[in-house]
Amino acid sequence: MSKRRTKIVATLGPASDTEAIIEKLILAGMDVARLNFSHGSAEDHRQKAFLVRKIAARHQRYVALMGDLQGPKIRISSFIDKQVTLEAGQAFVLSNNHPADKGNRDIVGIDYPPLVHDCAPGDELLLDDGKIILQVDKVEDDSVHTTVIAGGELSDHKGINRRGGGISAPSLTDKDREDITLAAELKVDYVAVSFPRYGSDMGQARELIQQAGSNAWVIAKIERAEAVTDDQALDNIISASDGVMVARGDLGVEIGDARLAGIQKRIIKHARTLNKLVITATQMMESMVSSTMPTRAEVSDVANAVLDHTDAVMLSAESAAGKFPVEAVAAMARICVGAEQEPVSITSGHRLGERFSRCDDTIALSAMYAANHFPGVKAIISLTESGRTPLIMSRIRSGVPIFCFTRHPHTLNRAALFRGVYSLPFDAATLDPADVSDAAIALLKEQAIVKRGDWIILSQGDFHSDSGGTNGMKILKVK
């Protein structure tokens, strides 16, 4: 059983779409396979999902699948020569009417007509993740006239952001709706929603996912400035979701890189306080796209997210298109384990002094309090249907492993994203109630996780088929 508590999300792409590489990624430590619906065909994603499930089963591992929706990425059209060089001080026009494939160094088409209504003189537009900065001079009915503030090379279909946010594109596009249907077909465990502005965006996504016949949990990608304007805006999105992703690419462009680290810490703290999952993402080990080793700054970046108690750290281009996808996962796993050795990673003040509103929350948090204060406890067993109880438990900083015992394959996979939680198949409903505890402990003994004389904590409900029914906790000595 891996001792690493922080989970790893790895994006699959051209560098990691074969059976051999996916197997190496899983063995190196991939806990969640991300299918990026911004790239690749439906058949590509079907093949990757099939391979992940097949290989994980071969190694008796539980690997979650995440389908990541593209969302309303606002982009320029294309250039005659595929690329132009913009110089600081020159004029540059973004036009709704210019031919889509006839862009040049003076003008380019845009694929989002409402941009002209979302801009005003004095605004800054950031292209290609902030590499190109344009200042808006004037706005006409069909075009935005700008002056280049920071120039450089600009190629086809690069994204556009507005400094401070404010682009009004809806969170879910027609393509997203098609991809939700695909996600349901693939039985993904999570659907990540791009560019939500409000909690209602997440509610709409959840409704569409359920209508498609999926029970996937929804992850809000925090990447718009509006999502972090104040605590209420952030908490509305977090509360409407099952988890959030700190999507530092677009978010950093919109709010500015100087504020990004502080905002990241705030998002992680709020997500955990609200008992939600949190993933830290984007350029965590970017140099490993072309290098076998991360930089010291990247090591610190990953470690700091771990110390802030993120559930997972994520690889994007590093595993999808880089030269060393397996090495990137292995390096990330090594850094996580190293950071988790620090005492701060197992010291918790979560929800101390708060009242609890649910019985299962009370049991979950009581179990963690006992585990952290009774030195003989070596493991926590949560008998669960949906996975909610081990999720709540994992909001508490602890060095004691939490085991998600369930009969449901989707819950076993889902829990692969929970920090410090490990999945084991177990069907309590088939056992005599008097035998459940001994059978659960026996399973941990078989895995060499506990031995005679150790203590374990076991939580369960009176009825093993009821979701949300956890109402009891036992402290048991291993015989």
Instruction: State the residue for tokens 């380019």.
Output: 108
Contacts of 297 (CB under 8 A, 6+ apart): none
Catalytic residue among 46, 53, 61, 75: 75
The token pair that represents 204 in the structure block: 């709409």
Decide: 353 and 369 in contact? Cβ < 8 Å: no
Instruction: Return d(Cα 100, Cα 95) in angstroms, integer.
Output: 9
Decide: 201 and 90 in contact? Cβ < 8 Å: no
Instruction: Return d(Cα 32, Cα 62) in angstroms, integer.
Output: 9
Residue 62, Cβ density class (10 Å: 0-12 exposed, 13-18 middle, ≥19 buried): buried
Q: How big is the chain by its Cα radius of gyration, in Å? A: 24
Instruction: Return d(Cα 125, Cα 94) in angstroms, integer.
Output: 11
Instruction: State the residue for tokens 């990247």.
Output: 298
Within 10 A of 214 (CB to CB), how many other CB atoms are there? 22
Torsion sign over Cα 40, 43, 47, 52: positive
Catalytic residue among 6, 280, 282, 389: 282
* Residue 103 per-residue DSSP state: B
Catalytic residue among 5, 34, 351, 388: 34
Asked about 282 being catalytic, the answer comes back as yes
Of 45, 38, 54, which Cα lies nearest the Cα of 17?
45
Asked about 389 being catalytic, the answer comes back as no
Instruction: Return d(Cα 367, Cα 265) in angstroms, integer.
Output: 27
First to last CA, the chain: 21
Catalytic residue among 162, 221, 378, 397: 221
Decide: 320 and 13 in contact? Cβ < 8 Å: yes
Residues marked as catalytic:
34, 75, 221, 282
